[in-house]
Amino acid sequence: METLCLSRSKITKLHAICEEYKNDPGELINVLHAAQGALGYLPVEVQEVIASRLHIPVSKVYGVVTFYSFFTMTPNGKYPISVCLGTACYVRGAEKVLEELERQLEIKVGETTQDGLFSLDCIRCVGACGLAPVVSIGGKVYGRVTPEKVKKILSDYYFQEK
């Protein structure tokens, strides 16, 4: 017998979400949506619990999680970083900024730092093209970012955490 573990409160929460959708396998996407909303992400254990509640193979759950880019199996960092790769930001060097962020944080797009502080993602246009290239961290938007500014921006957050 192979056993994975999850805290009692999380299991209760997941059971409640499945119950809300009457444990209906046809509601899988809604259940996953709610579960990610409640827990932030969908690790293996969460998918196993949902599969067993909805009486479907966990492979099916995993298939859906990997099909939709909205679903994630890695937790977001405390400060989720989004780099805009929309046309305006892209032509003004957003890719260089992204590369610098990857180098500084030692993670790739879609990953989270070991200390759980930062996660890195790309987005398409935040509607602030006049400030291109744009990076948003948490709720805060940074405009006209250059690779040289990246270190300073991050150090403010590290400082806050001290």
Partner 1 sequence: MKTIKLVINRKELEVPAGTTILEAAKSIGIRIPTLCHMKLEDLHYENNPGSCRICVVEVEGRRNLAPACKTECAEGLVVKTYTPRVMNARRVIMELILSNHPFECLTCSKNGYCELQAIAHDLGVREVRYPGEQSVFPIDRGPSVVRNRNKCIMCRRCETMCNSIQTVGALTAVNRGFRAAVSTAFEKDMKGSTCSYCGQCVSICPVNALSGRSNQQEVLDALDNPDKITIAQTAPAVRVALGRDFGFEPGAPVTGKMVSALRSLGFDYVFDTDFAADLTIMEEGTELLQRLTRYLHGEKKEKIPLMTSCCPGWVSFVEQHYPELTGNLSTAKSPQQMFGAIAKSYFARMLGVEREKIVVVSIMPCLAKKYEAGRPEFSVNGNPDVDISIYTRELTRLIRYANINFEELPDSDFDRPLGESTGAAVIFGTTGGVIEAACRTAYELYTKKPLGPVDIEALRGMEGIRSATIDFDGLPVRIGIAHGLGNARKLIEEVKNGTSPYHAIEIMACPGGCIGGGGQPFHHGNMETLRRRASSLYRADKEKSIRKSHENPYIIRLYKDYLGEPCGPLSHQLLHTHYFDRKKTVGISDETNKED
Residues that bind partner 1 (CB under 8 A): 1-11, 44-45, 47-49, 52, 56-63, 66-67
Q: Which is nearer to partner 1, 71 or 131 (CB)?
A: 71
Minimum Å distance from CB 80 to partner 1? 19
Minimum Å distance from CB 9 to partner 1? 6
68, burial (CB in 10 Å: exposed 0-12, middle 13-18, buried 19+): exposed
Distance separating alpha carbons of residues 66 and 38, to the nearest angstrom: 19
* DSSP states of 50-67: HHHHHTS-HHHHHHHHHH
Distance separating alpha carbons of residues 152 and 162, to the nearest angstrom: 15
CB atoms within 10 A of CB 88: 16
Minimum Å distance from CB 29 to partner 1? 14
Minimum Å distance from CB 71 to partner 1? 12
Q: Which is nearer to partner 1, 8 or 152 (CB)?
A: 8
**Beta-carbon contacts of residue 80 (< 8 Å; ≥ 6 apart):** 118, 119, 121, 137, 138
Q: Which is nearer to partner 1, 10 or 149 (CB)?
A: 10
Q: Which is nearer to partner 1, 29 or 141 (CB)?
A: 29
Extended beta strands in 56-108, E state: 79-84
